[in-house]
Amino acid sequence: MKKDTSMMMTEGPIWRRIIAFAIPVFIGNVFQQLYNTVDSLIVGNFIGKDALAAVSSSGSLIFLMVGFFSGISMGAGVSIARYFGARHYEEMQESIHTNIAFGLIAGLILTVFGVIFTPRILELIGVPETVMPNSVLYFRTYFSGVITIVLYNVAVGILQAVGDSRHPLYYLIISSITNVSLDLLFVAVFRWGVGSAALATVLSQGLSAALCYIRLIRHDTVYRVYPKKIRIYPGKFREIISLGLPSGLQNSVISIANVIVQSKINLFDVSAVAGCGAYAKIEGFAFLPVTCFSMALTTFVGQNLGAKQYDRAKKGAAFGIVCSMLMAEAIGFCIYTFSPHLIALFNSDPEVVAYGARQAHTMAPFYFLLAFSHCAAGIMRGAGKAKVPMFTMLICWCAIRITYITIAVAMIPEIHVIFWAYPLTWSLSSVVFLIYLLKVDWVHGFESMTRQ
């Protein structure tokens, strides 16, 4: 079997390899964010602020449900990247097929759980009664097809682990165009309501998943997928769980904290829920450089440590962090400056705009801290030290955030108090990660996980 060396990140100029990987991910994230934003834009303009609030109220819950299994799949990505960097292709094949089998199981579990328990979960977080029916409909429709979303994330993780960020971009562009078209057709033309926006998302994501697997199955590469080999390989499953469970738990605890934050926002009126939901969609664009460099660093560090190129891994980590922080802050400046106009794109109600703009003015100046924390977490995952970001996020982004929200809102029942929970906890996690990166030898200690 002929290997594809063009995807190796263990060779060539560091900056060029990282940028070459990050740019397609960045462009793909732009389309992904547009993909996620279209639902809210079309729903907010064609149905109204109550419907926008319904879509917004379910966002944190969706990530809570999907984030755990996506985090575990990150463990498979680290495993695949290591074996690819070390050129241990047989072990890599077992990791790939185990991850797909796990994705199928996880998708079925999420479908059943999401559809059955949607009403109860929405009640627990205090979704306003006026938007409850639409929230239930959107949430249930989304989870009826969530297996396509899980399998898409698994496929993209495989491709990115071996350095291929271009093909996921191509498929995502196709999927995004499909999603926009279906949203306009279902909501604006047919007037099928909030549930049809979720249906458009599921159908579009299913298309991108199908395209990913067609490539993985049909192309003769060292990471080719063979349907008959899709099963759980016990040794590789334990390895994936060991590497990915901390990331899954990290995603879950962050999501739990964000759900609690959302429950506090839900105590205010519908305009607050809609305005903060609109801001959340805009904030997603600040995550673009954060996500692309975090993913690039996980793959870069994983491959280079697998190849025992320790100095190269350190230099790449420093380069990726600086680039991500600069780009995130530049986007933050734009969001801070133009937030009233951006929020109005979703819904022009003055109260909705005021809530969203206030949140942007509080949080946007601190996006560089968000970038640093996520990139540091990506480096730790690539180095096989996923427990470090897990415990850091558990303490800073969950325990401290929840404690702050509970105490501060009780003392000062103002919505801006809720907004400050994020910059404060981003600052704490950044300090912890900075100390760890400077003081601890994070590049050694994982050699036993790949064959000598």
- pLDDT, residue 3, reads 43
b/e burial code for range 107-137 (CB count within 10 A of at least 16 → b): beebbeebeeebeebbeebebbeebeebbbb
Q: What is the mean pLDDT of the chain?
A: 85
Predicted confidence (pLDDT) per residue in 212-264, tens digit: 999 999 988 889 999 999 999 998 998 888 878 887 777 777 777 877 887 88
* The predicted structure's pLDDT at residue 59: 63
Residue 76: phi, psi to the nearest 5?
-65, -40
Q: Is the pLDDT of residue 441 over 60?
A: yes
Question: In this predicted structure, what is the pLDDT of residue 192?
Answer: 87
Give percent of the chain with pLDDT exceeding 70: 94
Q: What is the pLDDT of residue 135?
A: 83
Q: Taking a C-beta distance cutoff of 8 angstroms, is the pair 202, 144 a contact?
A: yes
Which of 39-53, 114-128, 395-409 is predicted most confidently? 395-409
pLDDT band at 93 (very low <50, low <70, confident <90, very high): very high
Segment 124-146, tens digit of pLDDT: 777 777 778 888 888 889 889 99
pLDDT of 57:
61
pLDDT at position 347? 83
CA–CA dist 25, 373 (Å, integer) = 19
Q: Tell me: pLDDT of 357 over 90.
A: yes
pLDDT score recorded for residue 1: 43
State which amino acid sits at residue 247: S
| Mean predicted confidence (pLDDT) in 341-368 | 93
Q: Which residues, including other chains, have CB under 8 Å from residue 217's CB and lie 6 or more apart?
A: 224, 225, 226, 227
Q: How confident is the model at residue 6 (pLDDT cuts 50, 70, 90)?
A: very low
Rounded to an integer, the average pLDDT of 102-126 is: 86
Q: Which has the minimum average pLDDT: 5-19, 82-96, 142-156, 374-388?
A: 5-19
| 3 vs 14, higher pLDDT | 14
Residue type, 83: Y
| More confident call, 92 vs 444 | 92
What pLDDT is attached to residue 60? 63
Q: Where are the domains of the chain?
A: 8-444
* Confidence (pLDDT) at 7: 52
The string of pLDDT tens digits covering residues 293-342 is: 998 898 899 888 888 888 999 999 999 999 999 999 999 999 999 999 99
Name the token pair of 81.
């990247």
SS (H, E, C) the chain: CCCCHHHCCCCCCHHHHHHHHHHHHHHHHHHHHHHHHHHHHHHHHHCCHHHHHHHHHCHHHHHHHHHHHHHHHHHHHHHHHHHHHHCCHHHHHHHHHHHHHHHHHHHHHHHHHHHHHHHHHHHHCCCCCCCHHHHHHHHHHHHHCHHHHHHHHHHHHHHHHCCCCHHHHHHHHHHHHHHHHHHHHHHHHCCCCHHHHHHHHHHHHHHHHHHHHHHHHHCCCCCCCCHHHCCCCHHHHHHHHHHHHHHHHHHHHHHHHHHHHHHHHCCCCHHHHHHHHHHHHHHHHHHHHHHHHHHHHHHHHHHHHHCCCHHHHHHHHHHHHHHHHHHHHHHHHHHHHHHHHHHHCCCCCHHHHHHHHHHHHHHHHHHHHHHHHHHHHHHHHHCCCCHHHHHHHHHHHHHHHHHHHHHHHHHCCCHHHHHCHHHHHHHHHHHHHHHHHHHCCCCCCCHHHCCC
